[in-house]
Amino acid sequence: MPTLRGFLWLVILLLCGEALVWALALPVSPGVIGMLLLTLGLTLRGRAGSDIQAASQPLISMLAMLIMPGVVGIFFIADEFSSQWLAVAAALLFGTLASVATTLWLMLRFMPPETTNE
């Protein structure tokens, strides 16, 4: 039951996110707003209860599976964009290599060493 109780909280927060996105015409997805609301709520409460943890852990480990139905679409639209596959492949491959390198450089440049913590 703790899992279901936690799941109810997650869904309620998702609905709150949905309401806020609609009311304020935010360009962000309801899930992200819900996540921020959850972080805020837990901070105010001072601890993450066992219900919410029991529901969150399995869902987080399922994330990769949840996007599979969307991503397999790439294998079925390949024909449509076959004339541009080189541009798409190069952009994704080299674009990602470059952006990973840039982010890593930025982080190493600005991030203080771990010991400055606490």
Partner 1 sequence: MSDAWGALREQLLATPMLAIALTLAAYFAGSWIFVRLGKPGWCPGILFAAMLLAATLALLGIDYTDYRAGASWLMLLLGPATVALGVPLYQQLPRIRAVWRPLLISLPPAAMLAAFYAVGLAWLLGATPEVLASLAPKSVTAPIAIGITEQLGGVIPLMMGGLLITGVVTTACVSLLARYLQLRDPRVLGFVLGVNGHVIGTVRAFELGPTAGAFASLGMSLTGIFSALFLPLAWRLVGL
User: Which residues from 48-107 bind partner 1, rule CB under 8 A?
Assistant: 48, 52-53, 55-57, 59-77, 81, 84, 86-104, 106-107
Tell me the closest approach of the beta carbon of residue 47 to partner 1, in angstroms: 9
Q: Give the integer Cα–Cα distance in Å for 2 and 55.
A: 8
CA distances (Å), 82 to each of 20, 76, 86, 89, 92, in order?
41, 11, 8, 11, 15
Q: Is 43 in the site for partner 1 (CB under 8 A)?
A: yes
Among 4, 11, 19, 24, binds partner 1 (CB under 8 A): 11
Tell me the closest approach of the beta carbon of residue 51 to partner 1, in angstroms: 11
**What 3-state class would DSSP assign to 77?**
coil
**Structure token pair of residue 24:** 């304020």
Q: Cα-flanking dihedrals φ and ψ of residue 91, to 5°? A: -60, -45
Tell me the closest approach of the beta carbon of residue 7 to partner 1, in angstroms: 7
Neighbours of 116 (CB within 10 A): 7
Tell me the closest approach of the beta carbon of residue 112 to partner 1, in angstroms: 7
Q: Is 20 in the site for partner 1 (CB under 8 A)?
A: no
* Nearer of residues 23 and 113 to partner 1, judged by Cβ: 113
